[in-house]
């Protein structure tokens, strides 16, 4: 059997073992700081330790394993992805990149490769941002961009991020010290499922990522007037849900009209104090707006906000518009990408370049280090869904390409 297929089997086994650790036994959910998240982190830490890496969990819950070079002054190359998930997640989004990286480092240890630079494998703790609605908390700490005001963010239970960090045993005073200094970075590599249909449609196992789309995440609060469903005449209502519903459809229509350059999604909608015999007085919903073109993203943000404000005004509803998070589109590093392209070609696969509509931890890291990403085909491009799947031969292809890339990088710096 091809050595990479054998290693892919172990990789898949680990992905399945980690996937079994969830805060909900009916599906995969491991959100920042929960007991299931901590159990998953402990498992990944144990695998890193067994592989012979210097391992620790940092102040924001990242699991970090280092393979040091004999050249103490050498820079650090990071291989990473995330192990937190969305709700009702697939098992590859995040863990694939972390556990593929673990395999690569295991091989380096077994072959006693002398490294010209340090390598740090990182399982980031909060890429999805499900609990506190701000993404990249782990990678922002490692990149040195963690904004202290994030510590005041509250989750649905009113717990602050600072309290959650303390509960995890982290020290918020340590956050700035957990960054890799800007002048210490050599580069960043992340393998991740494509989460889109292109590779599946074209029957190609892997691809380069040229850029990662920018995103704006907004919380919209629609405030009307709660009332008795049986007594308030239809023409005298300030129905917050009907206003939100019209806004949701307006967002969908706007996204469809401009689908060549952007996507717009409402993924969450919460009716406050909901009851079947009460006219909804307050509704909170999310807006997720993305584009690979920064000017287009800014234009769309302002046009949509005006549209939704007009709907609210016409319906005599108060709209509170909270911009929760925004990240500009980022380009991956041309030099690392050409090395990765060569690894793909030398492995016998066509070299395809894609723009990522999904966000990744490479986004904050690319501000401080050259970043490159390898996309791996997934079933019909499905992700953020239990149907997410990667076939064994594609895991083997990703291992083959990633190992060739890392080998070339090591020889380039030796």
Contact residues toward ligand HGY (CB under 6 A) are 127-128, 135, 358-359
The span from the CA of 85 to the CA of 400, in Å, is 26
Both tokens of 406, joined, read 């890392």
Shortest reach from residue 13's CB to ligand HGY, in Å: 24
CB-wise, 21 or 358, nearer to ligand HGY?
A: 358
Q: Least CB distance from residue 95 to Mn ion, whole Å? A: 9
Helix (H) or strand (E) holding 371: strand 371-376
Residue 194 makes contact with Mn ion by CB under 5 A:
no
Instruction: Tell me the closest approach of the beta carbon of residue 268 to Mn ion, in angstroms.
Output: 15
**Phi and psi angles of residue 205, each rounded to the nearest 5 degrees, phi first:** -75, -35
Q: How far is the CB of 50 from ligand HGY (least distance, A)?
A: 29
CB 255 within 8 A of CB 266: no
CB of 314 to Mn ion, least distance (A): 36
Name the 3-class secondary structure at 79. strand
Binding range to Mn ion, per CB under 5 A, among 91-99, 134-142, 323-331, 402-410? 91-99
Specify the residue, 267 or 350, whose C-beta has the smaller distance to ligand HGY. Answer: 267
Give dist(CA 312, CA 295) in Å, integer: 26
**Contacting range for Mn ion; rule: CB under 5 A; set: 37-45, 86-94, 197-205, 371-379:** 86-94
Q: What are phi and psi of 211, to 5 degrees?
A: -155, 160
74, 116 in Cβ contact below 8 A? yes
Residue 135 interacts with which of Mn ion, ligand HGY, none, CB < 5 to 8 Å by class: ligand HGY
Q: With respect to Mn ion, which residue has the nearer C-beta, 79 or 319?
A: 79
Among the candidate windows 93-101, 175-183, 222-230, 395-403, which touches Mn ion by CB under 5 A?
93-101
User: Whose Cβ is closer to ligand HGY: residue 58's or residue 128's?
Assistant: 128
Of 312 and 358, the one with the shorter C-beta distance to ligand HGY is 358
382 touches 410 (CB < 8 A): no
Between 308 and 358, name the residue whose CB sits nearer to Mn ion.
358
CB of 332 to Mn ion, least distance (A): 15
Question: Integer distance in angstroms from the first to the last C-alpha of the chain?
Answer: 32
Q: What span, in angstroms and rounded, lies between the C-alpha atoms of 387 and 88?
A: 10
Task: Report how far residue 364's alpha carbon sits from residue 372's, in angstroms, rounded to the nearest whole number.
Answer: 13
Contacting residue, 58, 84, 93, 333, with Mn ion by CB under 5 A:
93
- CB of residue 390 vs Mn ion: minimum separation in angstroms? 13
Q: Do the beta carbons of residue 116 and residue 410 sit within 8 Å?
A: yes
Closest CB to Mn ion: residue number = 93
Three-class secondary structure of residue 297 per DSSP = helix
Burial of 99 from C-beta contacts in 10 A (0-12 / 13-18 / 19+): buried
304 interacts with, out of ligand HGY, Mn ion, none, CB within 5 to 8 A per kind: none
Phi-psi region of 179 (alpha: psi -120 to 50; beta: other; left: phi over 0): beta
- By C-beta, is 161 or 240 nearer to ligand HGY? 161
Nearer to ligand HGY, 29 or 347 (CB): 29
Where does this chain bind Mn ion (CB under 5 A)?
A: 93-94
């Amino acid at each position: 059997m091809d050595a990479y297929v054998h290693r892919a089997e172990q990789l898949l086994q680990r992905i399945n073992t980690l996937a079994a650790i969830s805060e909900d036994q009916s599906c995969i959910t491991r959100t920042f700081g929960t007991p299931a998240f901590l159990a998953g982190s402990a498992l990944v830490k144990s695998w890193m330790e067994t592989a012979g890496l210097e391992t620790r969990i940092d102040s924001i819950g990242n699991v970090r394993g280092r393979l040091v070079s004999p050249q103490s002054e050498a820079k650090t190359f990071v291989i990473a992805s995330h192990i937190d998930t969305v709700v009702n997640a697939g098992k590859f989004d995040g863990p694939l990149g972390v556990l593929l990286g673990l395999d690569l480092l295991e091989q380096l240890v077994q072959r006693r490769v002398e490294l010209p630079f340090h390598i740090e494998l990182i399982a980031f703790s909060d890429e999805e941002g499900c609990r506190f609605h701000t993404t990249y908390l782990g990678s922002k700490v490692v990149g040195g961009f963690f904004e202290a005001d994030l510590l005041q963010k509250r989750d649905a239970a009113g717990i602050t991020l600072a309290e959650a960090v303390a509960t995890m045993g982290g020290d918020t005073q340590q956050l700035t010290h957990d960054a890799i200094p800007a002048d210490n970075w050599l580069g960043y590599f992340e393998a991740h499922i494509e989460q889109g249909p292109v590779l599946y449609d074209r029957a190609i196992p892997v691809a380069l990522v040229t850029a990662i789309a920018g995103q704006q995440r907004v919380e919209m609060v629609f405030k009307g007037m709660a009332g008795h469903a049986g007594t308030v005449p239809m023409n005298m209502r300030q129905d917050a849900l009907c206003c939100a519903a019209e806004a949701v459809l307006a967002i969908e229509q706007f996204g469809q009209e401009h689908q060549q350059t952007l996507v717009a999604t409402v993924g969450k909608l919460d009716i406050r104090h909901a009851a079947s015999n009460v006219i909804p007085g307050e509704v909170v919903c999310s807006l997720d707006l993305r584009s690979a073109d920064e000017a287009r993203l800014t234009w769309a943000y302002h046009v949509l906000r005006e549209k939704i404000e007009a709907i609210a005004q016409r319906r005599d509803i108060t709209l509170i518009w909270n911009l929760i998070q925004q990240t500009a589109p980022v380009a991956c590093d041309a030099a690392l990408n050409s090395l990765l392209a060569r690894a793909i070609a030398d492995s016998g696969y066509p070299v395809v370049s894609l723009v990522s509509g999904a966000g990744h931890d490479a986004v904050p890291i690319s501000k401080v280090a050259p970043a490159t990403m390898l996309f791996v085909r997934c079933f019909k491009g499905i992700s953020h869904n239990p149907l997410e799947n990667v076939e064994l031969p594609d895991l083997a292809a990703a291992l083959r390409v990633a190992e060739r890339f890392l080998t070339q990088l090591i020889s380039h710096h030796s």
